[in-house]
Amino acid sequence: MTEIKPSAALTFVLHTIVIQILAAATVVLGWQAFPNLSVLTLLSCAVAYAVTALLRMPPSWRLCNTMLPLAAAVSLAVELPSWVFMTAFIGMVAIYAPALWTRVPYYPTHRAAYALILAELPTDRPFVFLDIGCGFGDLLFFLQSRRPLGTFIGYEIGVLPWIWGTIRAKLLRRSSISIRFQDMWRASLTEYDFVYTFLSPAAMARMWDKVSHEMRPGSTFMTNTFPVPAPADETVAIRDPRNSKLYIHRMGREQAANTAAILATTLPKTGRLG
């Protein structure tokens, strides 16, 4: 198994704290020379952006850091009630907290990939599809409405996405969708015909180890954007703004030896889902 290294997300959080201290210092020190809050706010945004660029932070963290001084200034000027901040903070924690230890933050699959994933799923027979780290479950809802013979499972450990996905499935009466509060590393993949992931580079070596030991011959593993350390059987271009790729692995005989032992112990107990 791959060793889990200190979280990149934690590093970004620490960088963010330092950047915001620098941005605040810009306003405090600048106030002595030029007491104009609007100008100083814009200057602190520029300082925050410059440091994120210097640290080569990803675009989402650059945007977040650049906007934070502005958001702070606006919130002070408008005097929003404190519960607004508390609610926003709790919401963010409920979505993103797992990224601190898993190194896999939430960001959704681009809609351009949906049709490519759908094309892999059969129309004439039951099957079981798993989205590992399914977020709010949008992909599962899209696929389920177009493949009525399928059973669609999502694993998620973000509290808000899991609650929202579960409520949505109940409200829309989609009984063939099940979103489970489940750590992906603690669940077996032997039951699934199709497994889809959109995770992060940090998780892929360990994921391939798991997939190649647990998935049955004849099943299909798909990974969006982040390849595993094995050549894919098919690589499909996703027409999204990042020109991502969908890597498709058709699990074959070389995995059979690994999965046979696992199947022998798990299938009599659990059976297939669909």
Query: Rule CB under 6 A: which residues touch ligand SAM?
Result: 98, 102, 104, 106-109, 131, 133-135, 138-139, 155-158, 161, 183-185, 198-199
When the beta carbons of 45 and 248 are compared against ligand SAM, the nearer one is 248
* Distance (Å, whole) CA 61 – CA 66: 8
From the number of C-beta atoms within 10 Å of its C-beta (0-12, 13-18, 19+), residue 251 rates as: buried
Task: Compute the C-alpha angle 82/84/90, nearest 5°.
Answer: 105
* Amino acid in position 65: N
Residues in CB range of 103: below 8 A, 6 or more apart: 4, 5, 7, 8, 9, 200, 202, 203
In whole angstroms, how close is the CB of 254 to ligand SAM at the nearest point? 26
The answer to whether 187 and 155 have CB atoms below 8 angstroms apart is: yes
In whole angstroms, how close is the CB of 207 to ligand SAM at the nearest point? 10
Closest CB to ligand SAM: residue number = 133
CA torsion angle for 66, 70, 76, 79 (degrees, to 10)?
-110
SS3 190: coil
Please report, in angstroms and rounded to a whole number, the separation of the first and last CA atoms in the chain: 30
* Distance (Å, whole) CA 236 – CA 11: 33
When the beta carbons of 26 and 223 are compared against ligand SAM, the nearer one is 223
The answer to whether 160 and 94 have CB atoms below 8 angstroms apart is: yes
The answer to whether 274 and 126 have CB atoms below 8 angstroms apart is: yes
Q: Nearest to residue 101, comparing CAs of 21, 167, 5? A: 5
